Amino acid sequence: MNPHTRREQIAGPAGALECAINDPADAPRGVAVVCHPHPLHGGTMDNKVVQTLARAFVQLGHRCVRFNFRGIGASQGAWDEGAGEVDDALAVIAAFREPAMPLLLAGFSFGGYVAASAAHRLPEGAKPQRLVLVGPATRSFTTPAVPPDTLVIHGEHDDVVPLQATLDWARPLSLPITVVPGGGHFFHGQLPLLKDIVLRGLH
């Protein structure tokens, strides 16, 4: 992401997990954890959308932690159909969250499902302050209900997760969706706009 990225490994439920940490220029005001897209379809913590989310969080003054799910990059273990990947996210949250600081949790595509599921499993009093889901995998995975202030961003022409699937998921929750006109799943040519939406949505 930039030359100031720190790479660390933490103990995860299936072995070591590879993490990348970026700090803001001043003392961090919070910690943000970002979950990457589907491991079996080329998803890693260095995905462009994941890095865009990380840049937004750092600009907002948060320490940002990206990580590779089990079996990806230097992370140990093997694909666990989503269940183990949620456990991975909870392990990263436990390792990096600061009790006195707000936690932000975000995910892109499959990572959106993981972030929503991890937030759902965190106990009351330990929930994230805000949740950001970009193109969440609402068609392929049973994504749990999320808080009403969750920022959900979806491309109009997403060909991986149809916008309709996310609208159908959000409708019973009365949850607004920010739709990017003309946007595809990976927001090609629209990453600056995606970053701006996150910056405006979390201010």
Could you give the 3-state DSSP secondary structure of residue 103?
strand
CA-wise closest residue to 107 among 128, 123, 76: 128
In angstroms, rounded to a whole number, what is the distance separating the alpha carbons of residues 49 and 158?
14
DSSP string of 143-158? PPP--TT-EEEEETT-
β-pairing, 151-155 with 178-180?
Answer: parallel
11 three-class SS: strand
Residue 203: its pLDDT value, please?
Answer: 80
CA atoms of 5 and 64, how far apart (whole Å): 10
For residues 16 and 93, what is the distance between their CA atoms, to the nearest angstrom?
A: 14
Q: Do residues 137 and 152 touch, judged by C-beta distance below 8 A?
A: no
> Cβ–Cβ contacts within 10 Å for residue 202, how many?
19
CA distance 18 to 50: 15
Q: CA 93: distance to chain centroid?
A: 12
Q: What is the pLDDT along the chain (203 residues), one digit of tens a residue?
A: 566 899 999 999 999 999 999 999 999 999 999 999 999 999 999 999 999 999 999 999 999 999 999 999 999 999 999 999 999 999 999 999 998 999 999 999 999 999 999 999 999 999 999 999 999 999 999 999 999 999 999 999 999 999 999 999 999 999 999 999 999 999 999 999 999 999 999 98
d(CA 3, CA 199) in angstroms, rounded, equals: 23
**pTM greater than the 0.85 cutoff:** yes
Kindly list the structural domains of the chain, giving each domain's residue range(s) and its CATH number in brackets, ordered by start.
Answer: 6-202 (3.40.50.1820)
Helix (H, G, I), strand (E, B) or coil at 69: coil
